Structure 1
Amino acid sequence: MKTLTIIDTFGFFFRLFYALKGLKTSTGKPSSMVSGFANFIYSLKNEYKSDFLIFALDSKGKTFRSEIDPNYKINRIPPPPELLEQIPVCIQMIEKMGFKSSSFEGYEADDIIASIVRECEDKDIFVRIITQDKDLYQLIKDDKVSIYSPISKNDYNEAACLEKYGVKPSQIRDFLALCGDSADNIPGVKGIGAKGAKTLLDEFGNLESIYENLTLVRNERSKNLLLEGKENAFLSKKLASLYDKLDVSNLLVGAEFKEEEPLLKVVDILQEYELNLVLKKLRSNPQNKDKNLGFQAKLITDENELFSLLQGLDKETIIAFDTETTGLDTKHAKIVGFSFCMNEEKAFYVPINHDYLGVPKQISFEVAKKAITLIYQAFVVGHNLKYDFEIIKNNFGLNLPQNYADTMILAWLKNPSSRVNMDDLAKRLFDYETLHFESLVKKGETFASVDLSKAALYASEDAFITLKFYLYFLQNLEKPLLDLAKDVEFPFIKVILMLENNGLKLDTELLSKLMQKFSVDIKALSEEIYELAGERFNINSPKQVSDILFVKLGLPSGKKGKNGTFSTDEKVLNELKDEHAIIAKLLAYRELAKLYSTYCEPLLNLALNDENSRIYSSFLQTGTATGRLSSKDPNLQNIPAHGQYAKDYKSCFIAKKGFSFISLDYSQIELRMLAHFSEDEKLISAFANDEDIHARTAVMIFGQSNYETRSIAKSINFGLIYGMGYKTLSKNLNIEAKLAKEYIEKYFENFTSIKSYFENVKIEARKNGFIKTLLGRKRYFDFENASAMMSAAYERESVNSILQGSASDVIKLASLEIAKLLDDEKRLILQIHDELIFEVKDELCENFAKKASDIMENIVKLKVNLKTSSSIAKNWGELK
Structure 2
Amino acid sequence: MKTLTIIDTFGFFFRNYYALPQLRNAQGFPTGLLTGFANFIYAIKNEHDTDYMLFALDSKGKNFRHDLDPSYKANRPEAPEDLKKQLPVAISWIEKMGFKCYQEEGFEADDIIASAVRFAKAHDIKVRIVTHDKDLYQLIDDGRVVIYDPMKKLEIDSEKCFEKFGVYPNKINEYLSLVGDVADNIPGVKGIGPKGAKKLLDDFETVENIYENLEKVANPRVKSMLEEGKEKAFLSKQLVRLDNSLRIDDTFESFYFPCENPLLNIADELEKYELRQMLARVKNGALHVKPKAETSMGFKAVLLDTAPALLGVIEKIEQGSIVAFDTETNALDAYNAKIVGFSFAFNEKEAYYVPIAHHYLGVGEQVSLADAKKALEMLLSHKIVGQNLKFDLAVIENNFGVSNVSLYGDTMLLAWLLNPESNVGLDTLAKRFFNYEMVKFKDVVAKGENFSHVEIEKACEYASEDAWMTLKLYHKLHEMLEPRLFEIAKEVEFPFIHTLMKMEKEGIQIDGAYFETLLKRTDGAIESLKTEIFALSEAHFNLNSTQQLGNVLFEQLGLPTIKKTKTGYSTDENVLQELLDKHPVIAKILEYRELYKLRSTYIEPLLKLSKESPKSRVHTSFIQTGTATGRLSSKDPNLQNIPVKTALGREVRGGFVAKEGYTLIGIDYSQIELRLLAHFSGDEAMVNAFREGKDIHQETALKLFGEAAAKQKRGIAKSINFGLLYGMGPKRLSETLGISTKEAKSYIESYFATFPTIKKYLTSIEEEAKKEGWVQTLLGRKRFFDFEHANAMQYAGYLREAVNTVFQGSAADLIKLCMNKIVNTLVNDEAKLLLQIHDELIFEVKAEHAEAFALEAKKIMEGIYTLRVPLHVSIAIGKNWGELK
TM-score (norm 1): 0.68
Residue of structure 1 equivalent to 2:600: 597
Distance in 1 (alpha carbons) for counterparts of 2:364 and 2:292: 32
Provide the secondary structure at the position in 2 that maps to 1:595: helix
Deviation of 1:534 after TM superposition, in Å, equals: 2.7
Deviation of 1:277 after TM superposition, in Å, equals: 5.3
User: Given the superposition, is the C-alpha separation of residues 316 and 135 from structure 1 closer, same or farther in structure 2, using an over 3 Å criterion?
Assistant: closer
User: Given the superposition, is the C-alpha separation of residues 560 and 151 from structure 1 closer, same or farther in structure 2, using an over 3 Å criterion?
Assistant: closer
Listed one character per residue, the Cα deviations across residues 390-434 of structure 1 (whole Å, up to 9, x for unaligned) are 000011110132242111100000000000000001111111111
Conserved 8 A contact 1:315-1:403: no
Deviation of 1:739 after TM superposition, in Å, equals: 1.3
Task: Pick the aligned partner of 2:491 from 467, 476, 487.
Answer: 487
- Within the alignment, does 1:382 sit opposite 2:389 as a pair? no
Residue of structure 2 equivalent to 1:217: none
Task: Pick the aligned partner of 2:434 from 406, 430, 433.
Answer: 430
Conserved 8 A contact 2:293-2:436: no
User: Given the superposition, is the C-alpha separation of residues 148 and 753 from structure 1 closer, same or farther in structure 2, using an over 3 Å criterion?
Assistant: closer
Residue of structure 1 equivalent to 2:873: 868
Residue of structure 2 equivalent to 1:355: 359
Conserved 8 A contact 1:647-1:878: no
Deviation of 1:537 after TM superposition, in Å, equals: 2.7
Conserved 8 A contact 1:313-1:377: no
Conserved 8 A contact 1:327-1:333: yes
Residue of structure 1 equivalent to 2:757: 753
- Within the alignment, does 1:507 sit opposite 2:511 as a pair? yes
- Within the alignment, does 1:831 sit opposite 2:836 as a pair? yes
Conserved 8 A contact 1:324-1:335: yes
Task: Pick the aligned partner of 2:697 from 677, 694, 702.
Answer: 694
Listed one character per residue, the Cα deviations across residues 703-725 of structure 1 (whole Å, up to 9, x for unaligned) are 14456411111111111000111
Deviation of 1:735 after TM superposition, in Å, equals: 1.8
User: Given the superposition, is the C-alpha separation of residues 17 and 516 from structure 1 closer, same or farther in structure 2, using an over 3 Å criterion?
Assistant: closer
Q: Decide which moves more: 422-431 or 539-548.
A: 539-548
Task: Pick the aligned partner of 1:675 from 660, 674, 678.
Answer: 678
Listed one character per residue, the Cα deviations across residues 598-638 of structure 1 (whole Å, up to 9, x for unaligned) are 11111111110000011111000111100001000110111
Conserved 8 A contact 2:485-2:780: yes
Residue of structure 2 equivalent to 1:208: none
Distance in 2 (alpha carbons) for counterparts of 1:750 and 1:454: 68
Residue of structure 2 equivalent to 1:69: none
Deviation of 1:752 after TM superposition, in Å, equals: 1.1
Task: Pick the aligned partner of 2:845 from 826, 840, 844.
Answer: 840
Task: Pick the aligned partner of 1:794 from 792, 798, 805.
Answer: 798
Deviation of 1:549 after TM superposition, in Å, equals: 3.3
Conserved 8 A contact 1:695-1:710: yes
Conserved 8 A contact 1:353-1:448: yes
Aligned 1:562-641 pairs, distance under 5 A:
562-565=566-569, 567-641=570-644
Distance in 2 (alpha carbons) for counterparts of 1:858 and 1:519: 47
Conserved 8 A contact 2:702-2:710: no
Conserved 8 A contact 2:317-2:346: no
Aligned 1:58-137 pairs, distance under 5 A:
none
Q: Report the AA paired with residue 791 of structure 1.
A: Y
Aligned 1:329-408 pairs, distance under 5 A:
329-408=333-412
Listed one character per residue, the Cα deviations across residues 180-234 of structure 1 (whole Å, up to 9, x for unaligned) are xxxxxxxxxxxxxxxxxxx9xx9xxxxxxxxxxxxxxxxxxxxxxxxxxxxxxxx
Provide the secondary structure at the position in 1 that maps to 2:328: strand
Aligned 1:101-180 pairs, distance under 5 A:
none
| CA RMSD, 1 decimal | 2.9
- Within the alignment, does 1:466 sit opposite 2:463 as a pair? no
User: Given the superposition, is the C-alpha separation of residues 451 and 150 from structure 1 closer, same or farther in structure 2, using an over 3 Å criterion?
Assistant: farther
Task: Pick the aligned partner of 1:731 from 735, 738, 741.
Answer: 735
User: Given the superposition, is the C-alpha separation of residues 373 and 523 from structure 1 closer, same or farther in structure 2, using an over 3 Å criterion?
Assistant: same
Deviation of 1:760 after TM superposition, in Å, equals: 0.8
Deviation of 1:533 after TM superposition, in Å, equals: 2.0
User: Given the superposition, is the C-alpha separation of residues 326 and 36 from structure 1 closer, same or farther in structure 2, using an over 3 Å criterion?
Assistant: farther
Conserved 8 A contact 1:314-1:377: no
Deviation of 1:562 after TM superposition, in Å, equals: 2.8
Q: Report the AA paired with residue 849 of structure 1.
A: A
User: Given the superposition, is the C-alpha separation of residues 18 and 736 from structure 1 closer, same or farther in structure 2, using an over 3 Å criterion?
Assistant: closer
Conserved 8 A contact 1:132-1:149: no
- Within the alignment, does 1:646 sit opposite 2:658 as a pair? no
Conserved 8 A contact 1:628-1:833: yes
Residue of structure 2 equivalent to 1:253: none
Conserved 8 A contact 2:563-2:575: no
Task: Pick the aligned partner of 1:813 from 789, 798, 817.
Answer: 817
Residue of structure 2 equivalent to 1:822: 827
Deviation of 1:279 after TM superposition, in Å, equals: 5.3
Deviation of 1:151 after TM superposition, in Å, equals: 7.8
Q: Report the AA paired with residue 835 of structure 1.
A: E
Residue of structure 2 equivalent to 1:785: 789
User: Given the superposition, is the C-alpha separation of residues 639 and 809 from structure 1 closer, same or farther in structure 2, using an over 3 Å criterion?
Assistant: same
Conserved 8 A contact 2:407-2:494: no
Listed one character per residue, the Cα deviations across residues 281-336 of structure 1 (whole Å, up to 9, x for unaligned) are x22xxxxxxxxx52111111132222121115465211111111111111221111
Conserved 8 A contact 1:326-1:334: yes
Conserved 8 A contact 2:785-2:798: yes
Conserved 8 A contact 1:626-1:779: yes
Listed one character per residue, the Cα deviations across residues 830-869 of structure 1 (whole Å, up to 9, x for unaligned) are 1011110011110011001111011111100000111111
Residue of structure 2 equivalent to 1:849: 854
Distance in 2 (alpha carbons) for counterparts of 1:701 and 1:441: 64
Aligned 1:406-417 pairs, distance under 5 A:
406-417=410-421
- Within the alignment, does 1:559 sit opposite 2:563 as a pair? yes
Q: Which is greater in Rg?
A: 1
Residue of structure 2 equivalent to 1:104: none
Distance in 2 (alpha carbons) for counterparts of 1:154 and 1:499: 48
Deviation of 1:589 after TM superposition, in Å, equals: 1.4
Distance in 2 (alpha carbons) for counterparts of 1:312 and 1:448: 29
Distance in 1 (alpha carbons) for counterparts of 2:805 and 2:358: 46
How many pairs were matched up? 630
Deviation of 1:539 after TM superposition, in Å, equals: 2.1
Deviation of 1:155 after TM superposition, in Å, equals: 13
Q: Report the AA paired with residue 679 of structure 2.
A: H
User: Given the superposition, is the C-alpha separation of residues 507 and 426 from structure 1 closer, same or farther in structure 2, using an over 3 Å criterion?
Assistant: same
Distance in 1 (alpha carbons) for counterparts of 2:806 and 2:458: 46
Distance in 1 (alpha carbons) for counterparts of 2:538 and 2:711: 39
User: Given the superposition, is the C-alpha separation of residues 330 and 550 from structure 1 closer, same or farther in structure 2, using an over 3 Å criterion?
Assistant: same
Residue of structure 1 equivalent to 2:227: none
Provide the secondary structure at the position in 1 that maps to 2:331: coil
Provide the secondary structure at the position in 1 that maps to 2:783: strand
Deviation of 1:657 after TM superposition, in Å, equals: 0.7
Deviation of 1:358 after TM superposition, in Å, equals: 0.9
Conserved 8 A contact 2:323-2:385: yes
Q: Report the AA paired with residue 873 of structure 1.
A: G
- Within the alignment, does 1:317 sit opposite 2:317 as a pair? no
Listed one character per residue, the Cα deviations across residues 91-120 of structure 1 (whole Å, up to 9, x for unaligned) are xxxxxxxxxxxxxxxxxxxxxxxxxxxxxx
Provide the secondary structure at the position in 1 that maps to 2:564: coil
Which runs of no fewer than 5 residues in structure 2 stay unpaired? Answer: 7-45, 52-119, 126-140, 147-154, 159-167, 172-205, 210-287
Provide the secondary structure at the position in 2 that maps to 1:625: coil
Q: Decide which moves more: 416-425 or 362-371.
A: 362-371
Provide the secondary structure at the position in 2 that maps to 1:831: strand
Distance in 2 (alpha carbons) for counterparts of 1:531 and 1:839: 48
Identity of aligned residues (%): 49
Conserved 8 A contact 2:701-2:714: yes
Distance in 2 (alpha carbons) for counterparts of 1:542 and 1:155: 29
Q: Report the AA paired with residue 759 of structure 1.
A: T
Residue of structure 2 equivalent to 1:451: 455
User: Given the superposition, is the C-alpha separation of residues 165 and 502 from structure 1 closer, same or farther in structure 2, using an over 3 Å criterion?
Assistant: closer
Deviation of 1:761 after TM superposition, in Å, equals: 0.8
